[in-house]
Amino acid sequence: MLTAPEKSKQILPGQHFINGDTACAEGAIAAGCRFFAGYPITPATEIAEHMARRMPEVGGICIQMEDEIASIAAVIGASYAGVKAMTATSGPGFSLMQENIGLAIMTETPCVIVNIMRGGPSTGQPTMPGQQDVMQARWGTHGDYEIIALAPSSVQEMFDLTVEAFNLSETYRVPVFVLADEIVGHMWERITIPEAESIKVANRKKPAALPREDYAPFQPDQDLVPPMAVFGQGYRFHATGLTHDERGHPSTESAEVQTRLVQRLCDKIRKNKEKIIRVEKVMVEDAEVAVVAYGIAARAALSAVRKARAVGIKAGLIRLVSLWPFSDEQVAKIADHVKAFVVPEMNCGQMVREVERAAKGTPVAFLSKLGEEPHRPSEILDAIVGVLKK
């Protein structure tokens, strides 16, 4: 938890009218983030600007790096120095970070990476919304691994899920993504900031072993997550992106070590996915058609579901609060009784593939939207009516 002097410098609890990027920055501070490194990029720049003002007030550090590659590298270093650390970017910067994200996965570095998504590829539409980085978040770096990604759909969730992202990152020693589209990042809404004492804050496990020569920094506990020593506190060990054993020593030619390490990196997320996955279900118990949505599209989807119910159509909503790990078991369970799914996304088809895979043959209608306008409730309602007529 935060110390008493730091608590006094938190944003005042109560109701505030702020935008999503600012809420994200304040959520990070509330979670204990004391290091931010980033590079200006629309539509995430407001996060860096707010952190530049607020970090000195809470005893933290904010650095504008020369680019996004350096930003994520600095975040990894700060985390290994014992500080909760975050960066924020958008699509082009997210692409530049991928190699070092792989390093963070391999070295089990807790950190939070915020991606305020915009239209792509390349520089694309800097000021327009998109949901085109969903699969990149899952598969952007090479090798086998599991990742955690959360998708806020309101300014309140920009605060709450940023806190949650830090907690998950600290608990499982893994980079956690906050994937918000430009609209959620830039919209202004009233939110409630809780009292600091009531905010659940998780911290990484520290090793019980003394800093001896035989210290094994990557020896996991029963939950498959190793305690994390801090550089500069007497523990001497390797932290490398090479295949390594439990002592951190490179062992690149050993199939046994590679299998043991990579399988554990996957299993520490897979075997805890029921604790990680967040899904909001609205009126799905008797639904004939279920809409699966996230981010800004989920807001229009909720309105469409309510309009459908008002005219006697049994529609429901599955809002994906966490995108990764994907909630395939919950979608599969709902597929047993619905006639069809509708998936609105601001891309050409990404999460819809996961829904199709989990739907076990239940028809899935995809509603694509590209450019500046998000889905309208009427468009989603038309899709609901359309799948029921087939």
Residue 10 has pLDDT above 80, yes or no: no
pLDDT, one tens digit per residue, over 226-250 is 999 988 888 888 899 999 999 999 9
pLDDT, one tens digit per residue, over 273-302 is 999 999 999 999 999 999 999 999 999 999
Q: What Cα–Cα distance (Å) separates residue 225 from each residue in 9, 28, 169, 248, 274?
A: 33, 23, 11, 14, 16
pLDDT band (50, 70, 90) for residue 212: confident
Percent of the chain at pLDDT above 90? Answer: 91
Region 38-49: mean pLDDT is 98
Q: What is the pLDDT of residue 157?
A: 98
- This prediction's pTM: 0.95
- In the three-class reduction of DSSP (H, G, I as helix; E, B as strand; rest coil), residue 312 is classed as coil
Lowest mean pLDDT among 145-154, 176-185, 244-253, 350-359: 244-253
Q: What is the pLDDT of residue 4?
A: 38
What distance, in Å, lies between the first and last C-alpha atoms of the chain? 55
The sign of the dihedral angle between the CA atoms of 223, 229, 230, 231 is negative
Region 54-59: mean pLDDT is 96
Find the length of the chain: 390
CATH of 280-389, one of 3.40.50.920, 3.30.460.10, 3.40.50.150, 3.40.50.620: 3.40.50.920
Average pLDDT over the chain reads 95
pLDDT band (50, 70, 90) for residue 205: very high
**Domain 4-198 indexed as CATH 3.40.50.970:** yes
Ranges of CATH 3.40.50.970 domains, the chain: 4-198
Region 195-211: mean pLDDT is 92
Q: What is the pLDDT of residue 1?
A: 34
Q: What is the pLDDT of residue 5?
A: 39
Q: What is the pLDDT of residue 94?
A: 98
Q: State the Cα–Cα distance between residues 161 and 200, nearest whole angstrom.
A: 12
Q: What is the pLDDT of residue 372?
A: 83
Q: Which residues of 104-115 are buried (b: 16+ CB within 10 A; e: fewer)?
A: bbbbbbbbbbbb
Q: Which residues of 26-43 are buried (b: 16+ CB within 10 A; e: fewer)?
A: bbbbbbbbbbbbbbebbb
Sole residue written with tokens 């090793």: 207
Ranges of CATH 3.40.50.920 domains, the chain: 280-389
Q: State the Cα–Cα distance between residues 145 and 268, nearest whole angstrom.
A: 10
33: which 2 tokens? 């983030």
